[in-house]
């Protein structure tokens, strides 16, 4: 948000907890214009342009999760966002089933709905069951306990604080995002203001059996606290053989290698690692198939637009929606423009969409020339050729290839490349700088492909003397 908002400078509507969290985050973004954040109480309504929006309470791992019922001249679009059904959510109320049913009775044109757990049978499970298991597991440990989870999962953070209290342990936090979430939760009334945390230095001086550390890094993020701890790079925190690390989270597809790297390093250091594979220490914040069926039974949309998932998730969700009597489904993708018209719902266009990277103070597209060149430099290296050309058509050629060729061991090949460039330049009829550079570039490319089977970045500089 601190980066994207500066490109848009639009008003931001948020529920109180989200608005509080966002104000803290935006204040850390440094000088510059700050956004207008408009607080919307849970379950409230607002008119924005031609649209009337009503928030509908749903449960999730983050408090104040709200579906948005968007009333338009063409009908109502129900956008669920992330959600689940949990009769014992621990943080916030249960889902507003009456409001969902009311909209279903009133003829919903389309529903844009979470697909993340569409392959999971049954229901996603209750946070209340996780709390019981974590309290039991922590009470059985005789040494230091570390739990890593999503920083945004306030229900889990609250569970761990309660587990520490019931097992006679003090709580320490590690990870900036965790501090942000806890601070916003205290200001919003979801956590007590008088919680007493110890800092990481204090924690290391306490008996190991008296400490519970909650930290970031459950997805193997390179700069997260647990990653740095596992590498021995954290400035204050160290773990000892016999300590226990609990991964109270699920692996997001694509993060498996990073997470396994952390777990392997911890195990090698003699630390016990516990995951949710065999223990009830995590439940998803997204709906499984039975919850999806209940949602469709209440909302009864004419059109289903699956979202939040990979193509296989969207496709399976569309199949499920059709089996539940939904007449039309649209399997969209990032950047798709979808026409929501009964009898002709489909993708009708595309806009540019994709990841952007923060590069210093700039935002650059990850599929743009700058990032492509950096990847090529990483994989194949670079060669720099300098050609000094005089008015008589004589050339002095220098070549360097750091990271590709050794200037001592590869002297013969370097001399061979320079000679081949010289021969190529001798056959160039017209001698503009661009023609000289292109002839040299093609010659070097062929030589590198022939000898090393590599395609490095080749930079040629022509200097007139």
Q: How many CB atoms lie within 10 A of CB 261?
A: 14
Check: CB of residue 205 under 8 Å from CB of residue 214.
no
Residue 351: per-residue pLDDT = 95
The token pair that represents 453 in the structure block: 């089977």
CA distance linking residue 464 with residue 393, whole number of Å: 10
Question: How many residues does this entry show for the chain?
Answer: 465
CA distance linking residue 460 with residue 247, whole number of Å: 51
pLDDT digits (tens, 9 = 90+) for 275-307: 977 678 888 889 999 999 999 999 999 999 999
Residue 429: per-residue pLDDT = 66
Phi and psi (nearest 5°) for 129?
-70, -35
Residue 203: per-residue pLDDT = 92
> C-alpha 343: how far from its chain's center?
36
pLDDT bucket at 29, cuts 50 / 70 / 90: low
Res. 98: pLDDT tops 90: yes
**Strand pairing partners for 172?**
198, 213
Residue carrying structure tokens 């019981």: 132
In 3D space, the residue among 250, 236, 261 whose CA is nearest the CA of residue 285 turns out to be: 250
CA distance linking residue 42 with residue 187, whole number of Å: 16
Residue 465: per-residue pLDDT = 86
pLDDT digits (tens, 9 = 90+) for 49-69: 999 999 999 999 888 999 999
Residue 430: per-residue pLDDT = 64
Residue 440: per-residue pLDDT = 92
Res. 253: pLDDT tops 90: no
Res. 431: pLDDT tops 80: no
Residue 100's alpha-carbon distances to 43, 58, 115, 216, in angstroms, are 12, 10, 18, 35
Residue 393: per-residue pLDDT = 76
- Give just the sign of the alpha carbon dihedral 120, 124, 129, 134: positive
Q: How many CB atoms lie within 10 A of CB 165?
A: 14
Calculate what percentage of the chain has a pLDDT beyond 70: 99
pLDDT digits (tens, 9 = 90+) for 352-377: 888 888 888 788 888 888 998 888 88
CA distance linking residue 209 with residue 202, whole number of Å: 14
Q: Rg (Cα) of the chain, in Å, rounded?
A: 29
Rounded to the nearest integer, the mean pLDDT of the chain is 91
Res. 30: pLDDT tops 80: no
Res. 145: pLDDT tops 90: yes
């Amino acid at each position: 948000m601190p980066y994207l908002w500066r490109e848009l400078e639009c008003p931001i509507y948020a529920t109180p907890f989200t608005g509080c969290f966002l104000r803290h985050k935006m204040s850390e973004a440094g000088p510059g214009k700050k956004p207008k954040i408009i607080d919307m109480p849970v379950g409230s309504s607002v008119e924005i342009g031609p649209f009337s929006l009503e928030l509908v309470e749903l449960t999730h791992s983050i408090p104040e999760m709200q579906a948005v019922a968007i009333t338009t001249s063409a009908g109502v679009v129900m956008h669920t966002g992330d959600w689940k059904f949990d009769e014992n959510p621990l943080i916030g109320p249960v889902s507003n089933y009456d409001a969902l049913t009311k909209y279903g009775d009133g003829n919903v044109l389309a529903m844009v709905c979470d697909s993340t757990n569409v392959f999971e049978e049954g229901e996603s499970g209750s946070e209340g069951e996780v709390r019981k298991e974590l309290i039991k597991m922590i009470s059985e440990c005789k040494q230091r306990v570390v739990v890593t989870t999503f920083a945004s999962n306030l229900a889990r953070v609250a569970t761990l604080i309660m587990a520490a209290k019931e097992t006679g342990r003090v709580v320490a936090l590690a990870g900036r995002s965790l501090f942000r979430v806890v601070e916003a939760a205290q200001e919003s009334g979801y956590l007590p203001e008088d919680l007493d945390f110890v800092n990481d230095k204090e924690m290391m001086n306490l008996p190991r059996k008296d400490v519970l550390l909650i930290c970031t890094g459950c997805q193997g993020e390179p700069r997260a606290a647990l990653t740095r701890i596992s590498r021995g790079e954290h400035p204050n925190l160290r773990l000892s053989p016999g300590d226990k690390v609990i991964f109270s989270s699920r692996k997001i597809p694509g993060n498996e290698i990073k997470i396994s790297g952390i777990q392997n390093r911890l195990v090698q250091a003699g630390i016990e690692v516990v995951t949710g594979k065999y223990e009830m220490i995590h439940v998803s914040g997204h709906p499984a198939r039975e919850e999806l069926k209940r949602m469709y039974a209440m909302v009864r949309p004419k059109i289903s637009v699956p979202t939040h998932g990979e193509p296989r998730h969207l496709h399976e969700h569309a199949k499920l929606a059709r089996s539940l009597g939904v007449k039309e489904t649209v399997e969209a993708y990032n950047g798709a423009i979808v026409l929501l018209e009964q009898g002709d719902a489909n993708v009708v266009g595309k806009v540019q969409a994709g990841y952007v990277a923060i590069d210093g103070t700039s935002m650059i597209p990850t599929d743009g020339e700058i990032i492509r060149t950096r990847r090529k430099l990483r994989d194949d290296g670079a060669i720099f050729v300098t050609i000094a050309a005089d008015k008589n058509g004589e050339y002095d050629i220098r070549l360097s290839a750091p990271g590709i060729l050794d200037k001592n061991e590869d002297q013969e090949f370097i001399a061979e490349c320079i000679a081949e460039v010289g021969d190529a330049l001798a056959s160039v009829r017209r001698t503009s700088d661009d023609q000289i550079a292109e002839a040299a570039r093609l010659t070097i490319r062929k030589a590198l492909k022939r000898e090393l089977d590599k395609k490095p970045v080749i930079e040629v500089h022509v200097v007139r003397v």
